[in-house]
Structure 1
Amino acid sequence: MKHNISFVIPCFNCEKQIIQNIKKLKNKIKSSRINFEFVMIDDGSEDGTFNKLNYLKKKFKFIKILKNRENIGKSFSLIKGVNRSKFKNIITIDCDLPYLNSLKKVIEGLKRNNDLVIINRKIKGSKMVGFNLRPYQILRYLIGSFIAYLNIKLLKINVHGGDTQAGLKGFKKTKDFNKIKFISKKFFFDLELVLIYTRKKLKVLSVKTDYSISMNSTISLFNFSKNFVILFEYINVVSYYLKGHNK
């Protein structure tokens, strides 16, 4: 029996690679024996991303396009896309296709009736490839590790190593998903999703992966105002869940 999966893909200023990446993703899942749709959300891009998405929609019937009038954030876009998707099984993946080598493991995890399948860079068997890191990549690694540490210490998150932020996940929509109050609009939908599903004691599978640290990120070495927004949103999310919401 074929499974049905909605791929929810947020996009921002990615006109140069989006056509190539969508074709690559389509080819990657060919052998997985699934029915699928791509729900693509343009988060107020300032380049030609939306035009490229319209081209893809005309070419492929399985593509659905949503558009934010302004750049609101990845979390808002993902939630919007999930709520507009037609299948219960969801895979969220960033438009630069991180962890693509582990996608089939995520698909298989959903087929085996796990409620949430996450890429976990902290579990045994996961390893970083490419160790000649630039200062920016080192900063990203340290910040990611610090957030994972706080997830364990503050939120007591029931995921090995506290790793929630990898840009590839699979999950089954709960019946009340569209009624869940998410706090994050920009960066921490992943953290909230993992918290909600683990607190509900749903079945969670961590998948190992080989990974590298991208040079593309919301974290900017010298953009202090943007980094403050990230920190402020994280504090809001932590504060909300420490009060016992969304149990």
Structure 2
Amino acid sequence: MPTVFDVYKILSAAYGYQGWWPLVSKRDSPGFDSRGYRLSPALHPLNRAERFEITLGAVLTQNTSWKNVEMALENLLNAKALSPESIAEISVAELETLIRPSGYYRQKARRLKELIPLLFGESDSGTDGSHGRNFLLSLKGIGPETADSILLYAGNEASFIADLYTRRFHARLAGEQKIGEYERVKSIFEKALPKKADLYAEYHALIVKHGKEHCSARPVCRGCPCSSFCLSSQGA
């Protein structure tokens, strides 16, 4: 059975570099592709605008697909409202209209109005590592997955994301009948890997890619790069 790190290398060989987190505002910019994915690992810290867009996307992607979030972010970008200051200035009704494609737009608009000043106020410390996971989890509307997404992709903090893709993937590799709890699966990955944010980010992105290609709710085991050692695949 390959180690957790071996599985990372297998996925990387199968799918290549993923370039997460995609930034709508960077589409077709130098170093980014037409969807805003990085063409190579970033060699510099994210700037404030990039950290804000990632944080915004992490909140908007709750209970919806990334495709829907992209449409919401496009609306904000076109309305020149893709900044903390703009979100603070526009009305709740206007914000609801702009983010409507992301679903639960009324709830999310109110949530953003409350969260953005806390995360991007004068100190701008909510996503640069000054505030940790416990702080984020103390905020209304931020659960473990959202907190880890913000810490990892916006804050460059080594905090592994055990989203549904990851927990389903782990359960199938291990031949478990039930998908594991968030904190348990997060701990398994973090204990097995070097504590490096760039590794965590790329691994998570690869698992999402793999989940869409093969390890979805209805798995497609044929052609799966993990089928030779996946206990669920072998028992199918």
Q: What TM-score, normalized by structure 2, do the two folds share? A: 0.29
More strand by share: 1
TM-score, normalised with respect to structure 1: 0.28
Larger radius of gyration: 2
Higher-helix-fraction structure: 2
